[in-house]
A and B are shown apart, each in its own frame.
Chain A
Amino acid sequence: MLKFPIYLDNSATTPMDPRVLDAMVPYYLDHFGNAASRNHPFGWEAEDAVDKAREQIAKLINCTEKEIIFTSGATEGDNLAIKGIYDMYARKGNHIITVTTEHKAVLDTCKHLEKLGAQITYLGVDSEGNIDLNELENAITDKTILVAIMYANNEVGTIHPIKKIAEITHKKGALLFTDATQAAGKISIDVERDGIDLMAFTAHKMYGPKGVGALYVRRKNPRVKVTAQMDGGGHERGMRSGTLNVPGIVGFGKACEIAMNEMDADAERLSKLRDKLDTALLSLEESYLNGNKNSRLPQLTNISFKYVEGEGLMMAFNQNIAVSSGSACTSASLEPSYVLKALGLGDDLAHSSLRFSLGRFSTEEQVDYTIEQVTKAVHKLREMSPLWEMFKEGIDLSTIEWAAH
């Protein structure tokens, strides 16, 4: 039996895995100590739990425990990495390179730094969301301190070739920061193999709790340092002060451990379901895939249904299926997605896109139902659409001059 509404918005946030919550509850109730309390067992229990979680998290991305700094989430991680490097390496330079399709947490931080005197280069992307590696290489100067490029995009799922990006970045003497919020726990990340210097990620996108994340900061070859953006008790080796969110951290650790064991199986199962969804929906007339079909997150697809309003489409099955028509952070506004626009989509196609993101708890039955409902809704909306009618009559819509509205 299907339970409604079906949740296909796992890129916005995931439900918690029950095993994660089970691991957390004792730290809410019994072991409630402050991990910084050094002289009694309430503190030690909390500290031990944090240490264990640090290990579980480090294992997932193949780093050491000391390279993990706990944060309140990926947004804080993005802010800390970029501002922290900008402050710490001010003597070397003030140039940062990023990409127009990054998350707002990266872009807005860069914009803020621009006001303080940073020079920011925003690389563009092609129609699939890929950057041009030559363009990256040419953009790096001796003033470049940081290249900030996400591991995988949150709206279209395009995976960037981080290893190659790291090689280019390092050859030119800069550091690489990657926002791996969407990739961590979904696809294999290895900071050594990939050559990552800093990486932000968050628990609630991988079946862990909200309100906790981590920033990986490399300690060897080279030793990377960030300036703290929040001062205080000197927690997290001075890089991030504030009483640790122990239950949240325990949950994050558990989520990483589960991901470590189940990520491959999840990815295989979900990519099959995703492909089924893709095949069915892309067989509809005038529907287009957004993103890089061959280098894409396994559980996500983003599709534009031309001549249909994405919002209207969502309304049509909103009661029963939860998807997103843009990234969650911007979906409250009716502006077309800046990511899709960066891929070159016109307002019409950008407005007609939906992001379906599957998760560990998605089933084939849910996908089948979704295919049926979306197909029905697309047909129905197009039947009512004058644009669709004109298109069917063979009128080239791009030649029509629209009155301003």
Chain B
Amino acid sequence: MRVYLDNAATTALDPKVIDAMLPYLHNHFGNPSSIHSYGRETRAAIEKARKQIAGLFHVSPGEIFFTSGGTEANNMALQCSVRDLGVTHIITSQIEHHAVTHTVEALKKENKIKLTYVKLEADGSVDYNDLEELLKASSEKTLVSLMHANNEIGVLLDIDKVSELCETYDACFHCDTVQTIAHYNLDLQKTKIHFISCAAHKFHGPKGVGFIYVNADALIKPLIYGGAQERNMRAGTENLYGIIGLAKALEIAYKELEETKQYISSLRAHLKKRLNEEIPGIIFNSPDNGLYTVLNVNFPASEKNELLLFNLDIAGIAASGGSACSSGSNIGSHVIAHFNREEDSAAVRFSFSKFNTKEEIDFVVDKMKEMMLVTVQ
């Protein structure tokens, strides 16, 4: 048995998504900028996808720009708002994805911004009072960049609250929604956010494609220059099938949202319950009301924890110690560091999708029990 519980790193493509992509992979291959029929048909397909996506978030199609993924979207939001909107102060947190932390650190190193980290609560959530104090005290043009759900522990942001605070103090708001798009409804008419980021491969869409939503009020210029694609905002021949797949994956996700949410939540609750009851000394790094696709579990200290992920792999279980994006696997996670857990304890992130089953969860718990008996004693 092979069990894939690393869906926060990437997900399997939904067969219905590749079905939607195949005609474009095979026959409809024209460059969307070409004016002949090959180009016109692919242009129409891309614009249809854009419209459909815009509808899901209640925004105008003109505010959706396709990118190569979440990293590009985050970089674009941050770099361009500093360059084009006069942002000189960024407030963020210490547990953002590296696509945010490394970008703001680079901006600070270039002396382009003042960088402030908001205080976090014990569970990793934002201290909203501190955020308000920081915003109140900021006399410069400020951007708040906070992720909707943390990719390692799943702690959620109250986006309505942050949006309101940003409105009150006239700050821009970038929300890295890579882990929550397709998992939660997001109405950007109701919640004002200047930029959100999306990567299709996190919700059964293809890799190498995503989008950035840029609120019409935020007049940024491109990050990547060249041709006139994406209404002069993102040059480069469009990743046609990627965009078709992205739209299809979103369509499916939002059509089945409530069912999927309930189903995955039940898997998560089941894993949590069994681990809690059957393996002593466990602490959960994910809050109860966190992102329903992620459960981060802290296993008690043991010399053999180093081999925990290795043993999981031997047992056929794919989970993760941190995010997939950190290159060396032995560098401790900057997110888990927040908890100051006991030395030699080990954090494992289980992340679920609609393709997981209860049997798989039971299999995982049984295997973990075997492993723990060997390693904890």
Partner-B contacts on A (CB < 8 A): 5, 7, 9, 12-16, 21, 24-25, 28-29, 32-34, 36-43, 71-76, 78-79, 103-106, 108-109, 111-112, 202, 204, 209-212, 229-235, 241-248, 314, 318-319, 322-325, 328-333
Contacts and interface: CB of A to CB of B under 8 A. Distances in A.
27 contacts: A9-B30, A13-B30, A15-B27, A21-B25, A28-B21, A29-B18, A37-B324, A39-B309, A39-B329, A42-B6, A43-B318, A75-B227, A79-B224, A105-B226, A105-B227, A105-B236, A112-B225, A202-B237, A210-B239, A210-B242, A243-B70, A243-B199, A243-B201, A318-B37, A322-B30, A322-B34, A332-B33
Contacts of A244: 207-208
B68 A41 contact: no
Nearest to B328: A38
Contacts of A243: 10, 69-71, 199, 201, 207-208, 324-325
B339 interface: no
A15 B31 CA distance: 10
A230 B72 contact: yes
B259 interface: no
A33 B11 CA distance: 7
Contacts of A332: 33, 35, 228
Interface residues of B, number: 75
B12 A32 contact: yes
The dominant DSSP class at the B interface is loop
Given A9-B34, A29-B13, A109-B226, A232 B236 contact: no
A43 B323 CA distance: 12
Contacts of A319: 37
B206 interface: yes
The dominant DSSP class at the A interface is loop
Contact of B98 (A40, A233, A329): A233
Contact of B325 (A29, A36, A40, A75): A36
Nearest to B107: A231
Nearest to A249: B208
A245 B68 contact: yes
A331 B12 contact: no
B68 A231 contact: no
Contacts of B106: 231
Interface in B190-249: 199, 201, 206-209, 223-229, 235-242
A24 B312 CA distance: 29
B319 A40 contact: yes
Given A32-B13, A41-B318, A232 B102 contact: yes
B226 A232 contact: no
A76 B228 CA distance: 14
Contacts of A234: 98, 102, 325-327
A38 to B, nearest CB: 4
Contacts of A105: 225-227, 235-236
Contact of B228 (A24, A34, A41, A329): A329
Interface in B1-21: 2, 4, 6, 9-13, 15, 18, 21
B33 A12 contact: yes
Nearest to A228: B106
Nearest to A21: B25
A57 to B, nearest CB: 16
B207 A247 contact: yes
A232 B6 contact: no
Contacts of A25: 18
A324 B34 contact: yes
A210 B238 contact: yes
A328 B229 CA distance: 11
B31 A12 contact: yes
A232 B237 contact: no
Nearest to B326: A233
B264 to A, nearest CB: 18
Contacts of B98: 231-234, 241
A243 B33 CA distance: 27
B33 to A, nearest CB: 4
A25 B206 CA distance: 11
Contacts of B201: 34, 243
Contact of B208 (A108, A245, A318, A323): A245
Nearest to B99: A232
Contacts of B75: 229-232
Interface in B245-287: none
B319 to A, nearest CB: 7
Contacts of A41: 2, 313, 318
A122 to B, nearest CB: 16
Interface string B133-149: 00000000000000000
